[in-house]
């Protein structure tokens, strides 16, 4: 490709709207441009990289035995009503009507459509197992799109769906996809962790794993045990429930005044109480009712866990007015006593020998409160957010925290969709059974951004060879110099003929401009054709290290051709 | 690919909803399934073919110097308001709002988005010319989707846009795309004609050409001159204006009664009048006004021509009540006299020496009506539909009629969009000028259907090698026969290793089922491994001709490998 004719609008300045390196660099390197919030155009350079990542994904899917299909982007609302997600999915699901006023959605994911296909076409166990996948543009109406293509509304996704006769089959399909995902990320040159995750709006009964690219700018927090293999998204991560020594005989509850206390912080600093012994009671609106969640004063309620424990659709903190109406007091003195609503108590609270709790009247607390003795609860479980430094739930090792970019998520759906949509088959004995499903997503466009996050320096992007837009960047320093121009053109011709993807900077620009652009767009190898072209010599520069070697033109051509052919 | 594991649900019966061969065969061969009206899923076999066609399109675009991008499917309404098409495009443009109530559309085409991109990124003549293209799923809310993927609402399209400094540049870009389109269709094995066309909702000042695949089931009619190169869509096609002998002195108009005449047919059969001499007057609502269109009794008004002549947005026949209010009479006796609305007269009427016309009162006509003497008009032009048998407007040859499937359409837009959106650049002299644009569309998914229309027989599809889903179909007649199974498996292994795309029918099915399926899905070569496998012999059968040769297994392998490597 000749750079003089290539639509590659690089930017010198960092665009003010871009907060993270990948967003800044993808804009500066002329890979993407925003159309409206969260919706991007891929320019030629960006699209080349996207296609390379797509190709890796496709190869690994095919290798794992998955078959490629293309499902419609526009789907009938009726299928979403059938699965129940018409209600559950919220505003990220873009809904509209066609000219005949039939309700439709723009697919954010395709469980319904594929299950509908399979219930019509699969009759017998002989047709199973089967894994279908597609690479497609999806739309999710994010409330706050940000970070460029990292969290966009319109994005390219690979989604796969597996269909098995039983859970053992699902385990095998899940393993195959899990391995394929590891291969994809390895081939993209990424450092990543696979973590246990909450299945969110996709749901399913069998749990899920997320593939997290490690990065400071990641929107997810992971807790990882350095001693065993435990790793989980903070939405899901557990730590061991603390063990407390025996408290012996605890005296009866005792009322005391806490004038003006509005928070755990107040109780700690103004009244000298240890947050670890305070019972923090938070009132939540859970679907159509209210629930009191009780955690330790130093812990945070994990709303994802709470939602899952209560099997709820929506969980939201109540405002102070509601709290006052329900408990008789405002923030700061709510306690677990005498509430008419359901109480959900965290394991770490249930295990406490004694603690301090609000009195459900202003400025009043009680000490010597013994859970189980002084108040009861309807539900108990792990509803707190685990933290770095806490003991691993598996082995007791000390958990560490990382930031990650979620680029993949695999789910054991079980029969959530196949039951709702009646996707059944006849087994060997002629009995009707429900298909057992899994689903598997990779954010293809997000992968591109994640690669840039892990592969850049202060000068620009440094592409791994596997996804680089070009193999080699040939840069004649001065295109008006006859010798340089001829040498560069000849290299370009030879290499292109041999199948190497070459970008030739045939622009009549100052050397500084050319070098800066080359470092910015990050082709792994730069072949710089300068003054010594007259001696038959060129410079071979690795973008990653900056290391330069002087080679004969022939040797440079041989090396570049070898890179192009993947040797 | 092993057929036993391949998701290939073939159908024996012709699905009742499918009217044309390609729709029937694509359903029966397990290529597509309908989700809702005009919206289809591509199953693995269908998607393989779609990808092969995409690849041909991509190669020809790249060869022509076009650069691939990916534009958003979801676009802001504001750009359509800026171009004026928010009003013009009608109900095929799917409109909706996002969660923040911002109006958006689902892109049926991308002139606005790409012009917006170019006005932001192109500053100088040095960046031009440039051709950008994409292959993308598009949505047009057709009022009557039909014929499977031939006229779908959601479909895959390649759209390209050229940007030049002037009209000469546009001519070159247009020629390059025109040639690329010819190559695409040739490589897909299609018989086609390129015809002059009406630009429709895309618009532009420079005219357009359609690429028409010849087929009985085509929705378009083409008029083609067998003597010269003239060929045009019937929406646009012209024939020579008839020449009439001199009528000498025409007597004054004469009133006569035509009781009960309601149509040209009545005047002909009941009153013995020659339709060629009758002046047919039709009242149209044209945007916000009414217009009387006058054509010969044997001619039809071409509403596309009328719309273009009047530069109108919408043209619609008035109902009889309106006609009566405007003219004083109902259908059958409307005439060109004393109308208060604009009259548009067809060239063939203007040239008439004399004729018969309605009297604008019930049951009354006039004879000896001389256009220009007895009535005037405000506008004259070619507003009739040309017909087979009429003389070619270019050379006088006799026009012939064909049916065609429009698979491509190229447009010289000129400055329609660049002016509306202010896409300007500085020329060599530093003067600001407007970019001159072209646009170029290929219906990729429609191409697949068009190929099936031209390449099938009564047993099924007969793929051209260039787009066949597999190169070779290896069919062991009886998979339980050890020798047949081993020979077939060995062929499969060898060929797959050598890069040939092989479908292996390893199913335990009756031979009849296997052969019927093989003929239905239409892989060009069948290698049938039967009883003579024990002698080292197999049958090599060409799907197109049915011709069978007995070959040694080795020879079959060599031939098949040669096909796979494109020799």
- Write out the DSSP string of A337-363: TT-SSEEEEEHHHHT-S-EEEE-SSTT
pLDDT of residue B498: 92
Closest partner residue to B69 among A43, A67, A132, by Cβ? Answer: A43
The CA-based dihedral angle spanning residues B302, B308, B313, B318, taken in that order and rounded to the nearest 10 degrees:
-30
Contact A47 B70 (CB under 8 A): yes
pLDDT of residue B1: 95
Among residues B406, B26, B49, the alpha carbon closest in space to that of B213 is found at B406
Task: Report the distance separating Cα B22 and Cα B5, nearest Å.
Answer: 25
pLDDT of residue A443: 98
CA A3 to chain B, closest CA, distance in angstroms equals 11
The arithmetic mean of pLDDT across residues A541-548, rounded, is: 97
Q: With cut-offs at 50, 70 and 90, classify the pLDDT of residue B97.
A: very high
Using the predicted structure, report yes or no on whether residue A3 has a pLDDT greater than 80: yes
Condensed to tens digits (0 to 9), the pLDDT of residues B366-422 reads 999 999 999 999 999 999 999 999 999 999 999 999 999 999 999 999 999 999 999
Tell me the per-residue pLDDT of A55-114, one tens digit each, with 9 for 90 and over: 999 999 999 999 999 999 999 999 999 999 998 888 999 999 999 999 999 999 999 999
A390 and A426 Cβ atoms separated by less than 8 Å: no
What is the token pair recorded at B272?
A: 């013995």
Distance from CA of A39 to the nearest CA of B (A): 6
Report H helices in A227-341.
264-269, 303-309, 320-327
Stated length of chain A: 567
Please tell me the predicted confidence (pLDDT) of residue B205. 80
The answer to whether B292 touches B344, Cβ cutoff 8 Å, is yes
Q: What is the pLDDT of residues B176-217, one digit of tens each?
A: 999 999 999 999 999 999 999 988 888 888 889 999 999 999
Distance from CA of B347 to the nearest CA of A (A): 38
The reported pLDDT for the residue numbered B416 is 95
Instruction: Compute CA distances A521 → A5, A456, B68, whole Å.
Output: 16, 10, 17
The dihedral region occupied by A509, where left means phi > 0, alpha psi between -120 and 50, and beta the remainder, is beta
Taking CA atoms, what residue in A is nearest to B121? A9
Third-level CATH fold of B470-564? Rossmann fold (3.40.50)
pLDDT at B41 over 80: yes
B84: left (phi > 0), else alpha (psi -120 to 50), else beta?
A: left
Q: Which of A67, A104, A137 sits opposite B73 (nearest CB)?
A: A137
Residue A565 has pLDDT above 80, yes or no: no
In this complex, the residue of A35, A43, A121 whose CB is nearest that of residue B9 is A121
Pairwise CA distance, residues A472 & A393, whole Å: 49
Do residue B99 and residue A69 have CB atoms under 8 angstroms apart? no
Integer Cα distance of B383 and A513 in angstroms: 59
Please check whether residue B383 is in contact with residue B417, taking contact to mean a CB–CB distance below 8 angstroms: no
Residue B442's beta-bridge partner residues? B158, B408
Residue whose C-alpha is closest to residue A162's, from A138, A192, A127, A120: A127
Is-contact B383 B368, C-beta < 8 A? no
% of chain B exceeding 90 in pLDDT: 94
pLDDT of B27-37, one tens digit each? Answer: 999 999 999 99
Q: Is the pLDDT of residue A213 over 80?
A: yes
**Measured distance between the N- and C-terminal CA atoms of chain B, rounded to whole angstroms:** 22
Specify the pLDDT at position A246. Answer: 77
Rounded to whole angstroms, what are the CA distances from B332 to A184, B281, B360, B362, B468?
73, 9, 9, 8, 56
Asked if B68's CB is within 8 angstroms of A121's CB, the reply is: no
For A26, the enclosing helix (H) or strand (E) is helix A21-28
Contacting residues of A for B35, CB less than 8 Å apart: 71-72, 75-76, 113, 116
Say yes or no to pLDDT of A567 above 60: no
User: Where does chain B hold its CATH 3.30.930.10 domain(s)?
Assistant: 3-237+401-452
Contact B479, B485 (CB under 8 A): yes
Spatial separation of the C-alpha atoms in residues A177 and A61, rounded to whole Å: 8
DSSP of B246-293, one letter per residue?
A: ---SPPPPEEEE-TT--SHHHHHHTT---GGGEEEEEEEEETTEEEEE
Long-range contacts of B253-257 (CB under 8 A, 24+ apart): B253/B366, B253/B367, B253/B368, B253/B369, B253/B370, B253/B374, B254/B366, B254/B367, B254/B368, B255/B359, B255/B364, B255/B365, B255/B366, B256/B364, B256/B365, B256/B366, B256/B367, B257/B363, B257/B364, B257/B365
Task: Kindly tell me if the per-residue pLDDT of B461 is higher than 70.
Answer: yes
Q: Report the chain A residue with the minimal C-alpha distance to residue B128.
A: A5
CB contact under 8 A, B65 and A116: no
Which residue of chain A is at minimal alpha-carbon distance from B135?
A47
Nearest to A143 among B73, B99, B139 (CB): B99
Is residue B282 pLDDT above 90, yes or no?
yes
- Chain A positions touching B91 (Cβ under 8 A) are 99
Please give the average per-residue pLDDT across A206-214, as a whole number.
94
Closest CA to B423 of B147, B210, B84, B121: B121
Residue B263 pLDDT class (50, 70, 90 cuts): very high
Question: Residue B96's pLDDT is what?
Answer: 95
Asked if A56 and A188 count as a contact pair (C-beta separation under 8 A), the reply is yes
Partners of B298 in beta bridges: none
B chain contacts of residue A104, beta-carbon cutoff 8 Å:
36
Helices (H), B64-138: 77-83, 85-88, 111-121
Given a cut of 90, whether residue B538 has pLDDT beyond it is yes
The strand pairing partners of B130, in sequence order, are B163
Out of B44, B76, B154, closest to residue A67 by CB: B44
Calculate the average pLDDT of chain A: 95
CATH 3.90.960.10 segments of chain B: 254-381
Is the pLDDT assigned to residue A374 strictly greater than 90? yes
* CA–CA min distance B477, chain A (Å): 20
Say which of B6, B69, B99 has its CB closest to residue A44: B69
CA angle A57-B445-A467, nearest 5°? 25
Confidence of residue B566 (pLDDT cuts 50, 70, 90): low
Q: Between chains, do B141 and A98 touch, taking CB under 8 Å as contact? A: yes
Closest CB to B43 among A47, A69, A127? A69
CB B382 within 8 A of CB B308: no
B254-381: CATH superfamily: YbaK/aminoacyl-tRNA synthetase-associated domain (3.90.960.10)
Q: What pLDDT is attached to residue A403? A: 97
Query: Using a CB-CB distance cutoff of 8 angstroms, which residues of chain A are in contact with residue B70?
Result: 41-42, 47, 50
From the list B35, B99, B104, the residue facing A75 with the nearest CB is B35
**Average confidence (pLDDT) over A429-456:** 98
Q: How many pairs of residues across A and B have Cβ atoms under 8 Å apart? A: 132
pLDDT tens digits, one per residue of B231-261: 999 999 999 999 998 768 899 999 999 999 9
Pick from A203, A180, A207, A183: nearest CA to A195? A207
When CB atoms are compared, the residue of B41, B120, B141 closest to A117 is B41
CA distance B66 to chain A (A): 10
* Measured distance CA(B409)–CA(B111) in Å, rounded: 14
Contact B155, B443 (CB under 8 A): yes
Does B518 have pLDDT greater than 70?
yes
Average pLDDT over residues B113-128: 97
CB contact under 8 Å between B116 and A69, yes or no, is no
Instruction: Classify domain B3-237+401-452 by CATH architecture.
Output: 2-Layer Sandwich (3.30)
Q: What confidence tens digit (pLDDT) does each residue in B320-360 have?
A: 999 999 999 999 999 999 899 999 999 999 999 999 999 99
Alpha-carbon distance B560 to nearest alpha carbon in chain A (angstroms): 22
**Residues A233, A210 contacting (CB under 8 angstroms):** yes
Q: Are A523 and A472 in contact (CB under 8 A)?
A: yes
Mean pLDDT of the region A277-291? 96
CA gap A426, A125 in Å, rounded: 6
- Tell me the C-alpha distance between A136 and A33, whole Å: 20
For residue B446, the tally of other CB atoms under 10 A from its CB is 25
Chain A closest-CA separation from residue B407 CA (Å): 21
Specify burial of residue A216 (Cβ count, 10 A radius: 0-12, 13-18, 19+): exposed
CB contact under 8 A, A72 and B35: yes
Closest CA to A354 of A335, A336, A373: A373
Burial (CB < 10 A; 0-12, 13-18, 19+), residue A338, is: exposed
Question: Does pLDDT of B567 surpass 60?
Answer: no
Is the pLDDT reported for residue A266 higher than 80?
yes
Q: Which residues of A touch B43 (CB under 8 A)?
A: 69
Residues in chain B closer than 8 A to A70 (CB atoms):
41-42, 47, 50
What secondary structure does DSSP assign to B26-75, as a single string?
HHHTTSEEEEETTEEEEPHHHHHHHHHHHHHHHHHHHHTT-EE-B--SEE
Pairing type for strands B472-476 and B525-529 reads parallel
Give the other-Cβ count within 10 Å of B567's Cβ.
7
CA nearest to B67, candidates B221, B141, B176, B147:
B176
Pick from B216, B343, B349: which is nearest to B275 by CA? B349
Q: Which residues of A touch B41 (CB under 8 A)?
A: 69-72, 113, 117
With a cut of 70, say whether residue A24 has pLDDT above it.
yes
Structural Rg of chain B based on CA atoms: 29
Q: Which two tokens stand for residue B520?
A: 């239905």
Mean pLDDT of chain B: 95
B44: nearest CB among A40, A68, A75 = A68
What is the least distance, in Å, from the CA of B87 to any CA of chain A? 15
Question: Rounded to the nearest 10 degrees, how much is the dihedral formed by the CA atoms of B21, B24, B30, B34?
Answer: 130
pLDDT of residue A178: 98
Cα–Cα distance between A319 and A330 in angstroms, integer? 10
Consecutive H or E run containing B325: helix B320-327
Nearest 5°: the CA angle B497, B501, B503 is 110
Residues of B in contact with A40 (CB under 8 A): 72
Please give the residue of chain A at the shortest CA–CA distance from B2.
A65
B50 neighbourhood in chain A, CB within 8 Å = 70
Quick one: which of B452, B200, B423 has its CA closest to B307? B200
d(CA B366, CA B334): 11
CB contacts of A116 in chain B (<8 Å) are 35
């Amino acid at each position: 490709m000749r750079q003089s004719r290539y639509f590659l609008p690089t930017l010198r300045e960092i665009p003010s709207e871009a907060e993270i390196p990948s967003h800044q660099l993808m804009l500066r390197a002329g890979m993407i441009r925003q159309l409206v919030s969260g919706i991007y155009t891929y320019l030629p350079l960006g699209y080349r990289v996207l296609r390379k990542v797509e190709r890796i994904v496709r190869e690994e899917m095919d290798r794992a035995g998955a078959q490629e299909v293309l499902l419609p982007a526009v789907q009938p609302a009726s299928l979403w009503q059938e699965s129940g997600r018409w209600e559950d999915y919220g505003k990220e699901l873009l809904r509209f009507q066609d000219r005949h006023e039939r309700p439709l959605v723009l697919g954010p994911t395709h469980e319904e459509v594929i299950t509908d296909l399979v219930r019509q076409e699969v009759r017998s166990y002989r047709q199973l197992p089967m894994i279908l996948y597609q690479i497609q543009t999806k739309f999710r109406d994010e409330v706050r799109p940000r970070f460029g293509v990292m969290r966009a509304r319109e994005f390219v996704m690979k989604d796969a769906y597996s269909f098995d006769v039983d859970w053992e089959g699902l385990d095998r399909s899940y393993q195959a996809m899990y391995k394929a995902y590891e291969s994809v990320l390895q081939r993209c040159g990424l450092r990543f962790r696979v973590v246990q995750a909450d299945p969110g709006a996709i749901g399913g009964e069998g749990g899920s794993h997320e593939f997290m690219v490690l990065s400071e700018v990641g929107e997810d927090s992971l807790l990882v045990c350095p001693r065993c293999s435990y790793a989980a998204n903070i939405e899901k991560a557990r730590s061991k429930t603390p063990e407390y020594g025996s408290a012996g005989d605890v005296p009866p509850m005792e009322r005391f005044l806490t004038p003006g206390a509005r928070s755990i912080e107040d109780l700690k600093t103004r009244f000298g109480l240890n947050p670890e012994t305070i019972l923090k009671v938070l009132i939540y609106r859970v679907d159509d009712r209210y629930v009191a969640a009780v955690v330790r004063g130093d812990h945070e309620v994990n709303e994802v866990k709470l939602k899952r424990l209560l099997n709820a659709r929506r969980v939201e903190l109540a405002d102070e007015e509601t709290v006052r109406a329900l408990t008789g007091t405002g923030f700061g003195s709510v306690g677990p006593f005498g509430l008419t609503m359901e109480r959900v108590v965290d394991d770490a609270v249930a295990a406490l020998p004694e603690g301090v709790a609000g009195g459900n009247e202003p400025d009043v607390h009680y000490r010597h409160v013994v859970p189980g003795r002084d108040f009861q609860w309807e539900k108990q479980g792990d509803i707190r957010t685990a933290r770095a430094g806490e003991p691993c739930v598996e082995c007791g090792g000390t958990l560490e925290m990382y930031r990650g970019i979620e680029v993949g998520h695999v789910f054991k759906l079980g029969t959530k969709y196949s039951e709702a949509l009646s996707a059944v088959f006849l087994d060997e004995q002629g009995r009707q059974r429900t298909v057992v499903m899994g689903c598997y997503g990779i954010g293809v466009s997000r992968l591109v951004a994640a690669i840039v996050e892990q592969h850049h320096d202060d000068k620009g992007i440094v592409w791994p060879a596997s996804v680089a837009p070009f193999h080699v960047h040939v840069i004649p320093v001065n295109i008006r110099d006859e010798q340089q121009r001829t040498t560069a053109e000849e290299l370009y011709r030879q290499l292109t003929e041999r199948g190497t993807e070459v970008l030739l900077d045939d622009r009549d620009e100052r050397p500084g401009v050319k070098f800066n652009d080359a470092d910015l767009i990050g082709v792994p190898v730069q072949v710089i054709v300068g003054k010594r072209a007259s001696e038959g010599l060129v410079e071979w520069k690795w973008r990653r290290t900056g290391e330069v070697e002087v080679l004969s033109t022939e040797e440079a051509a041989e090396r570049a051709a070898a890179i192009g052919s993947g040797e």
